[in-house]
Amino acid sequence: MNAERGKKGYVYLIGAGPGDPGLITVKGRDCLAKAQVVMYDYLANEELLRLAPKGAELIYAGKVGGQHNREQSQINELLVQKALSGKVVARLKGGDSFIFGRGGEECEALVEAGVPFEIVPGITAAVGATSYAGIPLTHRGITTSVAFVTGHEKKGKASSEIDWEGLSLGSGTVVFYMGVTNLPHIAESMMAHGRSPETPVALIRWGTRPEQEVLVGTLADIAAKARQAEFKAPAITVVGEVVNLRETLRWFDNRPLFGRSVLVTRGADQAGDFTSKLEQLGARAYCCPTIEITPPENYAALDEAIEALDSFHWIIFTSYNAVKYFFGRLEEKGLDSRALGRCRVCAVGPKTAAALSPYGIRPDLVPADYKAEGVVAAFSEMEMAGKWVLFPKGDRAREVIPEELGRLGAQVMAPVAYANHTPEEIPQEALLALEEGRLDCATFTSSSTVQNLAAILGENRFLHLMEKVKVASIGPVTSKSCRELGLEVHMEPAEYTLDALSAEMIKYFAAE
């Protein structure tokens, strides 16, 4: 709803989930899309801010340097102030707002001010983090009860609000929120009130995120283990026999690329599938588009070729973009795939072949070698003298295909169907990952991707930032460009596809 200025606004109190942005509810996502103001916490994944409308006011209300950026009373006042100015406010809180999220206090302030609000529940850390760690909170035959407890109480407090005896006796699972600092006190208190020192304990840090860490021990030794491992917040502590099921049920942090950070340099419109695949394999993918694909500056040459389509014997597509922009122009001129007539079609690689499918076209030729030389080799086995070939290309395409097919006697038209541009800068998140040395691997899927990254950063800075980053190149042409810029290539698949590149990365890091 869009409140008129001067009238009371509206507040959505949204549980953002434990960290994985995919765990926000559908309703939470929809409410964020209505917001004019978003107030978000330290534990709310900042990727969720992309769901807010462009131009929405973003207000950080979490921690800075381990200290609260604003006191709770100040947050309450700001919520009321923004709503009373007529704004739709999304209050985005990590986990669930009503489970150790102080959401109740914020709602009380809204009620007192007469501000209408709505509560959108979220997946709390105890549920999300334990699920991603492979630890069921309850299990028939082990325990039928679970308790969520604050871990903030300090040893030496005059009186405790925690029922240590009730928590310690029996076999129930106990989850302590934010209790890493007080871990020795928690373990000692449970043992002192009757819980066996051998009771399994798991610490889960940054649960559901690619950087998730899990440390397992017992009540007797978990504090020492955490100290030795320098295990830090934010984390939850899980106490109970269900922790023993982790080794059988773990699924998230044993994936082949788990914990690896990967730079994806494809164009923004094509990075999604590759990024999703890497994330499914457990990697943290940083999108860093180094190419912007646009229509050509001038359509004259492509239009001339389209007008003469019925005279061509072959049309060669070497990329998804060539297919997209060629058929896009065809449609703009009121034509469709029937305009190809009897023209035979060559597609370089399975992805390019798949891009043709929506147009009802199955390629007549898919060369075994997915590069320009492979196309030439395939056509060299045919009689090409006097044949007319159309090769819609990018403005930076190599001249191998038109030159070599010309030597075979073919007449080749190679109009520019799309243009490649170099962005002025790379996304801040990707740049920070490079500067802070958090990247394990950078992937390059064309010569342009590596050349453009070097151009954006400057070659000296590029080489410095890439010094300890492993390089995954999709094929020999791209690898050659990497080496010319001074990079060592660590991974190159035999087949020049993204699936093969992913498999090569798995193989490399498994061996490492």
Most confident of 27-36, 267-276, 390-399: 27-36
Q: In the CATH hierarchy, which top-level class contains the domain 10-122?
A: alpha beta
Q: Can you tell me the mean pLDDT for 77-97?
A: 96
Q: Is 444 left (phi over 0), alpha (psi -120 to 50) or beta?
A: beta
Mean pLDDT of the chain: 92
CA–chain centroid gap for 5, Å, is 37
Task: Indicate whether 156 pLDDT > 70.
Answer: no
Predicted confidence (pLDDT) per residue in 444-503, tens digit = 998 989 999 999 999 999 999 999 999 999 999 999 999 999 999 999 999 988 999 999
């302030």: which residue's tokens? 109
Count of other CB atoms within 10 angstroms of residue 282: 18
> In 359-464, which ranges are E strands?
388-390, 393-394, 411-413, 416-421, 441-444
The residues spanned by each domain of the chain are 10-122, 127-249, 261-291+423-511, 294-420
**What string of H, E and C letters represents the secondary structure of 23-56?**
HCCHHHHHHHCCCCEEEECCCCCHHHHHHCCCCC
Backbone angles phi, psi at 254, to 5 degrees: -115, 15
Q: How confident is the model at residue 1 (pLDDT cuts 50, 70, 90)?
A: very low
- Residue 152, pLDDT score: 77
> Which of 20, 41, 253, 440 is an active site residue?
41
Predicted confidence (pLDDT) per residue in 226-277, tens digit = 999 999 999 999 999 999 999 999 999 999 999 999 999 987 667 788 999 9
- Residue 64, pLDDT score: 55
Dist. CA 331–CA 361, nearest whole Å: 15
Task: Indicate whether 184 pLDDT > 60.
Answer: yes
> Which of 27, 178, 225, 303 is an active site residue?
178
Q: Is 455 left (phi over 0), alpha (psi -120 to 50) or beta?
A: alpha
Pairing of strands 314-317, 63-64: unpaired
């994985």: which residue's tokens? 20
- Prior bond of 234 cis (ω within 30°): yes
Q: What percent of the chain has pLDDT over 90?
A: 84
Task: Indicate whether 437 pLDDT > 70.
Answer: yes
Dist. CA 279–CA 286, nearest whole Å: 10
DSSP 407-428: HTT-EEE--EEEEEE--SS--H
- Residue 68, pLDDT score: 63
Domain covering 261-291+423-511 in this structure, CATH number: 3.40.50.10090
Q: Can you tell me the mean pLDDT for 507-511?
A: 95
Element (H, E) at 503: helix 498-511
Q: Is 71 left (phi over 0), alpha (psi -120 to 50) or beta?
A: beta
Is position 351 annotated as part of the catalytic site?
no
CA–chain centroid gap for 227, Å, is 31
3-state secondary structure of 397: coil
Predicted confidence (pLDDT) per residue in 360-376, tens digit = 999 999 998 888 899 99
Is position 41 annotated as part of the catalytic site?
yes
CB 19 within 8 A of CB 207: yes
CB 12 within 8 A of CB 121: no
CA dihedral 401, 319, 450, 453 (to 10 degrees): 130
The alpha carbon dihedral of 214, 220, 223, 225 has a sign of negative
Predicted confidence (pLDDT) per residue in 266-322, tens digit = 876 677 889 999 999 999 999 999 988 899 999 999 999 999 999 999 999 999 999
Dist. CA 107–CA 115, nearest whole Å: 9
Q: Can you tell me the mean pLDDT for 38-44?
A: 93
Amino acid at 470: K
Task: Indicate whether 441 pLDDT > 80.
Answer: yes
The alpha carbon dihedral of 368, 371, 373, 379 has a sign of positive
- Residue 158, pLDDT score: 59
- Residue 334, pLDDT score: 95
From 3.30.950.10, 2.40.37.10, 2.102.10.10, 3.30.9.90, which CATH number describes the 127-249 domain?
Answer: 3.30.950.10
Q: Can you tell me the mean pLDDT for 198-202?
A: 98
Q: What percent of the chain has pLDDT over 70?
A: 96
Dist. CA 297–CA 419, nearest whole Å: 8
Element (H, E) at 13: strand 10-15
Reply yes or no on domain 294-420 having CATH 3.40.50.10090. Answer: yes
Task: Indicate whether 6 pLDDT > 60.
Answer: no
CA dihedral 315, 317, 323, 325 (to 10 degrees): -80
- Residue 112, pLDDT score: 96
Distances (CA, A) of 213 to 204, 207, 217, 448, 490: 6, 7, 14, 36, 27
Task: Indicate whether 67 pLDDT > 80.
Answer: no
- Residue 154, pLDDT score: 53
Predicted confidence (pLDDT) per residue in 98-134, tens digit = 999 899 999 999 999 999 999 999 999 999 999 999 9
- One fold for both 261-291+423-511 and 294-420? yes
Q: Can you tell me the mean pLDDT for 153-161?
A: 63
For the ranges 73-87, 142-156, 402-416, 471-485, the lowest mean pLDDT is seen at 142-156
CA–chain centroid gap for 403, Å, is 41
Task: Indicate whether 61 pLDDT > 80.
Answer: yes
- Residue 5, pLDDT score: 39
Task: Indicate whether 340 pLDDT > 50.
Answer: yes
Dist. CA 422–CA 462, nearest whole Å: 15
Most confident of 4-18, 259-273, 399-413: 399-413
Provide the whole-model pTM.
0.78
Is position 505 annotated as part of the catalytic site?
no
Task: Indicate whether 4 pLDDT > 60.
Answer: no
Strand partners, 177: 150, 236
> Which of 8, 27, 34, 63 is an active site residue?
63
């002025």: which residue's tokens? 424
Q: How far apart are the first and last CA of the chain?
A: 53
- Residue 490, pLDDT score: 98
